Structure 1
Amino acid sequence: MTDTALKSPASLKGNGNPSPVGGTDRPILKQFGPGLITGAADDDPSGITTYSQAGAQFGFNLLWLMLLTYPLMSAIQMISGRIGRVTGCGLAANLRAVWPNPLVLFLVGLLFIANTINIGANLSAMGASAELATGLPSVPVTILFAALSLLLQMFVPYHRYASYLKWLTMVLLSYVAVLFVVKIDWMAALKGFVMPSMTANVDTFTVIVAILGTTISPYLFFWQTSQEVEEMEEKEGAQPLRRAPRQAKRELRRIRIDTFAGMAVSNLVAIAIIMSTAATLHTSGKTEIATAADVAEALKPIAGNFAFALFSVGIIGTAMLSIPVLAGSAAYAAAECCGWAGSLERKPAEAIGFYSVIAAATVLGLAMEFMPIDPIRALFWSAVINGFVAVPIMAGMMTVVSRHAQMKQFTARPLLVVVGWAATAAMAAAAIAMLIYR
């Protein structure tokens, strides 16, 4: 297979005059990018709700699951980044080399539906949190947040926008800070990591499945792959590693550091949320959570105004971080399938189809605020869609990263392949369980 056959719309701009980009002396903070943003976006309000439900319902007893998900999600996201940087094109373009085009289009269509539902839920959570914190009516605030997110994506160039997203990940520290505000039984928490007390029943398994679906989501695969392509396009002299193997040592090292750090941030925040809600809501007997905003409201009388404020700020910040990832991942996938120009670095007039998908996902998500749709039910079906979409996508990714025709000498090492297939098997089991146990 030639490089041209794999060329994605985002990669048709050229890379400028080639110049050496090797070396490994880059400051550690400069190596954070797509992996960090992807990991932070994983903790969106939908994820916050899932982790809060785990803590409220089971106390500290599901903390062990976060130790299990870390290597699985790290492996699959590292594979996503590796595919993008080696081939120079996005995930959908690579999947079309191993799956029939109609199947890839079908999966991308389901991805768009699931992402739109998540965008709607995240916008709603932002509006509700802002209303709780400020007293302002939620609907106008929700519309304002949706418009702000859309305008930033459309009119701020990628290289500047990406730096905003990196700084926005700092808002996740608010959830870690909550741990120092509430009273934690640290011995009970430690036991939850190594010797949990659990009953094997439908309720337990449902939450476990929900956590797996929250931490390993298809939109994250597409986003990180495409962001590696965007990052490459912005570096003078950078080329796909299959054509410029001398750049590989530095770039693959950066991807590893970036991804491990991003997934560590994601899991650290999840652990903080589980522990905070276990120490407050579970202890006080509140075991049912409907939305992320409900968690913030429930924390106020139990843990005080400061914990309430931290949780509310976190919800708004993580939603602002995750909405462009949700909308952007669908747009990248659609552009690659349809042959459109697709890049956040381009102006809207230069990538009409790409930005139309971003606008459609955001506007339709906002429209859910005005429809008679149960948001919790919608999120459940979004999780079901994601669960079933993830399996063939992950299987395709594992095929791509193991194919010499696409990856040349940069096919994945055996350990990464084993852990990647383990993550795929875990998602397949979760998808089946979603149907059996609901």
Structure 2
Amino acid sequence: MSNTTLTKTALTKTAPAVLDTAHTGDIRGAFGTIRQDDDAPRRTIAAKFKTLIAIVGPGLIVMVGDNDAGAFGTYTQAGQNYGTRLLWTLLLLIPVLYVNQEMVLRLGAVTGVGHARLILERFGKFWGAFSVIDLFALNALTIVTEFIGISLGLSYLGIPTVPGVIVAALVIMAAVSTGSFRRFERACLVLVAGSLLLVPIVLMAHPPVGQIARDFVLPGLPGGAELSTVMLLIIAIVGTTVAPWQLFFQQSYVIDKRITPRFIRYEKADLWIGIVVVIVGGVAMMAFSAAVFAGHREFGNFTDAGAVATGLGHYVSRTAGVLFAIALIDASIIGAAAVGLSTSYAVADVTGMKHSLHRRPTEAKGFYAVFGLLMAIAAAIVVIPGSPLGLLTEGVQTLAGVLLPSASVFLLLLCNDKAVLGPWVNGRKLNIFTTLVIAVLVMLSVVLTASVLFPSITSGQILGILIGGSLAGLAIGAVSLFRRRARAAIDRTSRSTWRMPPLAQLDRPEPSTGRRLGLAVLRGYLLIAVALVVVRIVQLAIG
């Protein structure tokens, strides 16, 4: 079937492809309701604002959920060890965050089908199974780091960590299992508000505003620091800010909230609000940790987020330390909830189980069981004496770096699939930018994997990987551009009402030889890299 025929055929089909009937109906957001049959134009500012506050949620939660325990550790490490010299990395990540999450929110609103299920249907059983299995394993480890964050915060506050972690796990499971999407979203947005506790800490620490502004917009590296160490920290910043679970979570959450193409522009605004909050949080943590530890023996000797709270309490005030500990617990809770839900959505989506926060646990037993199992396992690991928590944290960062490029590859392919997105497929400029982002992520992934397997890697070797990867990426891009066929014109006039047809009506795409070769190389790299990383982690665990 030609592209033109496929587009015309798809545009005539408007039946949505939702996999759970609970995903259709009124939008019941934390701050308002939009009825399913509400097609009235929003012409006044008041009407637009009312619609926006009803839609707000997915973008805010996925972004603030990403400022989790791992982010607290990574951002404060950057500030404590190198001052504000790496703030510019956050500025560069803004377009990456927006482009990635805009594509998944578009996929969710237009298709009504989760990310893992689309990969299964469009790329086969191997990639479908791989996407769910690696997501489950990586997310389980990530949730462990969230409970580590909770334990560190509780410890600073003088609260017993074992019962505190258990209570936190029960609270998270209770918040998710109310059977009301609105109640869950309200609870999450309360936690989002809690993330703003970082702002008064900045005011108490009095960091140099001029230097912060300069380092935020002017790239540079810390003077006198080992390049390989700094590069690995930059990669950690990228990995903690752009994570694979975000793609799966936001797409499924947009679907569960019943957002349709009609309201995509409002969801984009929600995403931008979330990006602003997450960047403000990251800048705040780097800024106050740089200001607090400068000139003291702790500067350049980061240990963990708990020590940052102790430093704030010692050098600023007890109040600053308490606020940081509470913000760390708050961030860890929302992170655990979002990461756990991304796994539950993906597993249920692929297996065909009912999966919606609109359903009570008795109506979606498998969906809630997966979530509860993840919380229970993670909490148990953290409270068991002698668990290798530091090693698990390192493993999470490494595996996330290894797996992120593959997630971005499939995201790009899905957003160019006319049968899936019809008039919502990517434009040429967006494809070029996303391809460049993926190339950078692949290079960073290779560097991160190499650094774990070969701890003595030198700065020259890292630069060699980056330069070689850049040249290879440019060569591949030039060949692709030269061989690129002209795409048929796409009629985008019906975008507000177009939905992907049921999956059974879609023909499986016929991949080109180049795509099959590329996916084969990607499969080989992932299998080898993941296996080597796991072996290295096991070696470290047994000494």
**Contact 1:6 / 1:94 at 8 angstroms: preserved in 2?**
no
1:26 paired with 2:26, answer no
Letter of the aligned partner of 1:366 in structure 2?
A
Contact 2:98 2:275 in 1 (8 A): yes
Range with bigger deviation, 423-432 or 410-419: 410-419
Which consecutive residues of structure 1, in runs of 5 or more, have no partner in the other structure? 233-237, 242-246
Structure with more contact order per residue of length (Cα contacts < 8 Å, sep ≥ 6): 1
Alignment of 1:24-103 (within 5 A): 24=42, 25-27=47-49, 28-103=52-127
Shift of residue 18 of structure 1?
Answer: 5.4
1:258 aligns to 2:280 (yes or no): no
1:235 matched to which residue of 2?
A: none
The answer for the alignment partner of 2:435 in structure 1 is 421
Q: Which piece of structure 1 moves more, 161-170 or 95-104?
A: 95-104
Q: How does 1:313-332 map to 2 (within 5 A)?
A: 313-332=326-345
Deviations 1:294-318 (A, max 9, x none): 2212221112112111101101111
Over residues 306-332 of structure 1, what are the superposed CA-to-partner deviations in whole Å (9 max), with x where a residue is unaligned?
211110110111112111101100011
Number of residue pairs matched? 423
Shift of 1:186: 2.3
More moved, 27-36 vs 215-224: 27-36
Change in Cα spacing, 1:336 to 1:203, as seen in structure 2 (3 Å) is same
Secondary structure at 1:348's aligned position in 2? Answer: coil
Matched AA of 1:229: I
- Is 1:296 equivalent to 2:314 in the alignment? no
The structure that has the greater radius of gyration is 2
Identity %: 22
Does the CA-based 8 Å contact 2:177-2:360 persist in structure 1? Answer: yes
Matches for 1:162-181 after TM superposition, within 5 Å: 162-181=185-204
Q: Which sits farther off after the overlay, 138-147 or 279-288?
A: 279-288
Partner of 2:235: 209
1:353 aligns with 2:390: no
Of 252, 256, 271, the residue aligned with 1:226 is: 252
Aligned residues of 2:22 and 2:356 also touching (Cα < 8 A): no
Contact 1:213–1:430, Cα closer than 8 Å, also in 2: no
Check the 8 A contact 2:120/2:129 in 1, yes or no. no
| Separation in 1, partners of 2:132, 2:385 | 24
Structure 2 CA distance for partners of 1:39 and 1:436, relative to 1, 3 Å: same
Q: How far 1:14 moved relative to its partner?
A: 4.1
Residue 15 of structure 1: aligned partner: 25
Does structure 2 retain, via aligned residues, the 8 Å contact 1:98–1:399?
no
Question: Is contact 1:9-1:340 (8 Å) kept?
Answer: no
TM-score (norm 2): 0.74
- Counterparts of 2:36 and 2:178 in 1: how far apart (Å)? 28
Give the distance between the partners of 1:99 and 1:282, measured in 2 at CA. 51
- Contact preservation (8 Å) 1:300, 1:308: yes
Q: Which residue of 2 aligns with 1:244?
A: none
**Cα 1:56–1:131, aligned 2, differ >3 Å: closer, same or farther?**
same
Offset, 1:5: 11
Is the CA contact 2:181–2:257 (under 8 Å) kept in the aligned structure 1?
A: no
Q: Which moved more, 1:50-59 or 1:12-21?
A: 12-21
Structure 1 residue 97, shift from structure 2 partner: 3.1
Decide which moves more: 206-215 or 298-307.
Answer: 298-307
1:278 aligned onto 2:295: no
Any conservation in 2 of the 1:73–1:423 contact (CA below 8 Å)?
A: no
Take 1:288 and 1:23, find their aligned partners in 2: how far apart are those partners? 57
Give, in whole Å, the separation in 1 of the partners of 2:134 and 2:75: 24
**1:60 deviation in Å?**
0.7
Q: What per-residue deviation string (whole Å, max 9, x for no partner) do you get for residues 315-362 of structure 1?
A: 111112111101100011111111111111111121121111101111
Cα distance in 2 for partners of 1:31, 1:200 equals 46
**Aligned residue among 413, 416, 439 for 1:402:** 416
Q: What is the TM-score normalised by the length of structure 1? A: 0.91
Q: Distance in 2 between matches of 1:23 and 1:33?
A: 22
2:352 counterpart letter in structure 1: G
**CA positional deviation for 1:417:** 2.9
Q: 1:223-261: CA deviations, max 9, x gaps?
A: 1101110111xxxxx6x54xxxxx2xxx12112211111
Alpha carbons of 1:209 and 1:268: their partners in 2 closer, same or farther (altered >3 Å)? same
Deviation at 1:100, TM superposition (A): 1.9
Shift of 1:32: 1.9
